[in-house]
Structure 1
Amino acid sequence: MPNTPEPKLISGNANMPLAKAIARRMSLHRGVNTDLVNARVERFNDSEVFVEVFENVRGEDMFIIQPTSNPANDNLMELLIMADALRRSSAKRITAVLPYFGYARQDRRTKARTPITAKLVANMLVGTGIERILTMDLHAAQIQGFFDIPVDNLYASPVFALDIKHAFKDQMDDLLIISPDVGGVARARELAKRLNAPLAIVDKRREKAGEVSEMTVIGDVKGKTCLIIDDICDTAGTLCKAAEVLLENGAKEVHAYISHGVMSGPAVERVTNSVMKSLVITDSIQPTDAVKNAPNIRIVPTAPMFAQAILNIWNGTSVSSLFEQETLGPIYDGMYVDD
């Protein structure tokens, strides 16, 4: 057995295309073929999860690729059971790669007698023997503090910045970054700094979850190409309503960049029929056929970034270097180099 274990990838059923893409990118980066560990993750007739690993993982550096997206409970259980199987098989280290961290929106008590489910999930992950978390754009930064193990939280904003500079290269002076609520200002401001663009806010009032009663634009959007920046698009109701309000206030056109395309319920239909020119999401959650076929939805890949982050963790080098566009540009193989 070599002194330094090879990085080995294993995936559940949550986003197999992304896992395979990460494996391909790691193969390209290293010049050594990297395949997913041969395993089966199946269901018994009563929906219990069963995992069997067909390869020797003793002493190996294991990375489980499994976003806890819809169905969140099934995918979370797959992750926990895979981690348990690897720990009992004497893996040297287990890192959970969660491109999308489910239950992150339940990160605090907003009312009496409600749970903090993000903390509960953190406890469950640590309890199975997972020693490190790699994720992207946590809904709230403080969730990192819910863990007593290292958490590497990547950001989609450097990749979005590369994409925006390519897609809007002739409109850079007219760009206006929009936060769809006060809570997302820090995220939107961070991207605005990367683009040297101004910032505006759409303030919203909710009567109850999923329903917005009133929206107010804070800032001058007249004649601007507005880019709405957020981390999650679930039913797309708030997003589409914000786009309408921006146009009513004089915006020239509206686009959106969202890290995690949950896209549940009527989301695809709403976006397709909305006044938004385009919605750009990442592949952190496996897109449905409806999402892939929507004329105004575009998907940017995260595999190059995650592949490099996994290699950096394996090598013991900096993961925070991937926060910069200068680092990600070469990793994305000139995908966003101007023609």
Structure 2
Amino acid sequence: MKMWFLGTGAGRPNKHRNVTAIALQLPEPDTGWWLFDCGEATQHQLMHVPLKLSKLEKIFITHLHGDHLYGLPGLLSSRSFDGGVTPLTMYGPTGLKAYIDTVFSLTATALDYELVIHELEEEQASIYTDARFRVEAGPLVHRVPCLGYRVEERDMPGPLMADKLRGLGVKSGPLFGKLKSGQPITLEDGTIITPADVTDGVLRGRIVTVLGDTSPCEMADTLGRHADLIVHEATFAAGLEEKAHEFGHCTTIEAAQTALRAGAKKVALTHFSGRYSNEDLGKLVDEAAAVFPDVIAATDFGVVEIARIHER
């Protein structure tokens, strides 16, 4: 599982970084990916990373400020031209559907795939679940309704103990595959073998939290609880808390404090004010690292790999 940063700036693009967009590349053997926010020119940013627009499965919009969604109409339209024919599902605040419907109506845009839009209420809720993932959303504190998202991957059986399987008379092949995918098998003599019988521990599911624009709040702590990675805005440097809160944002130290309270493993700072150049990012990281040790500053086209943990 990888997190690609397509835009890490706040408010408007500048020569250092584009506006907000983040891609979650799903783990192999999946080839799909999910997008969190879609600032202006996100489809241009995608040309610099190994993600195909036709493989985009879901889009999660945190809020309706322009720097988080002005890139949506163009990206959705281009997906048709890129061979995207599978359904695409979008989640976001109330008003998202009206925005897309209005732009598409005025521009006579037609898609070659089904677009499903879910407008979310301003309350904590589970919004998606399947055999691999569960996604939860919750309201943050910003100048307009704004959401944070928590992606939980399900645990998987650990490595198969091949010697033990062979000792039980199980030959490699489809039965191995069923056990590896978490399904029990039945032998010819009626013996039932479960994955727990023949696997070495479990591969713990990963947790990724992507927060929209926010001032410090309890929901940010809740969504980030025990996350392997929290993506947290850090619009301003330490010492500018009053200015940050005036506009519904956080400082570097406040982002680090959220990660600390949540018991997260790593925090990626993003959504930097245009006042900071890329050369300033080291100082911003140092501020946060004084509170929380494992912190990075996201940069455009940067990637974070999130590994599974093998637990016995």
TM tier, smaller: 0.3 to 0.5
Rg larger in 1 or in 2? 2
For normalisation by structure 2, the TM-score amounts to 0.33
Q: Larger % of helix: which?
A: 1
